């Protein structure tokens, strides 16, 4: 079973559509992409490591512990960024600038235990 829909446009309608700036025409698609990215970002927040939960804060040195600018909870720094361009829109999901770039991850051979 297939559904076939034919749209017919005359020259006048096409001329009117092309008068709308491209970036405005892409607005509905951009909003749709952003809505689709929200559950993925929420999942990324839940998967991000938290030194408060894992107990790695207890392993911090006294000097590092005093430096508040590095005490970042990774889950709170995840976000969504939508970028428009003439070919469409892109959605990036990840760490927010600038605090998200200061996240500490355990890259040792043992890695992070789940």
Query: 58-108: per-residue pLDDT in tens?
Result: 777 677 667 666 666 677 778 888 888 777 788 888 887 776 666 655 566
Has residue 40 been placed in a domain? yes
What domain range includes position 96?
Answer: 21-102
- Please choose, from the candidates 48, 44, 28, 38, the residue with its C-alpha nearest in 3D space to the C-alpha of residue 91: 38
Has residue 9 been placed in a domain? no
- Output the pLDDT for position 104: 58
Asked whether 41 and 47 are in contact (CB, 8 A), the reply is no
> In total, how many domains does the chain have?
1
* CA 80 from centre of chain: 3
Has residue 63 been placed in a domain? yes
- Output the pLDDT for position 1: 63
Has residue 15 been placed in a domain? no
The residue that leads in pLDDT, 44 or 113, is: 44
Query: 10-50: per-residue pLDDT in tens?
Result: 888 888 878 887 767 777 888 888 899 999 888 888 877 77
- Output the pLDDT for position 18: 81
pTM: 0.56
């Amino acid at each position: 079973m297939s559904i076939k829909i034919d749209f017919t446009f005359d020259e006048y309608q096409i001329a009117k559509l092309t008068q709308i700036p491209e970036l405005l025409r892409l607005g509905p698609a951009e909003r749709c992409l952003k809505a689709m990215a929200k559950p993925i970002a929420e999942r990324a927040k839940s998967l991000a490591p938290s030194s408060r939960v894992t107990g790695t804060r207890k392993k911090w040195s006294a000097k590092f512990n005093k430096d508040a600018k590095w005490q970042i909870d990774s889950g709170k720094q995840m976000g969504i960024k939508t970028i428009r361009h003439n070919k469409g829109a892109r959605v990036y999901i990840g760490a927010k600038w600038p605090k998200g770039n200061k996240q500490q991850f355990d890259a040792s051979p043992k890695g992070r235990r789940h």
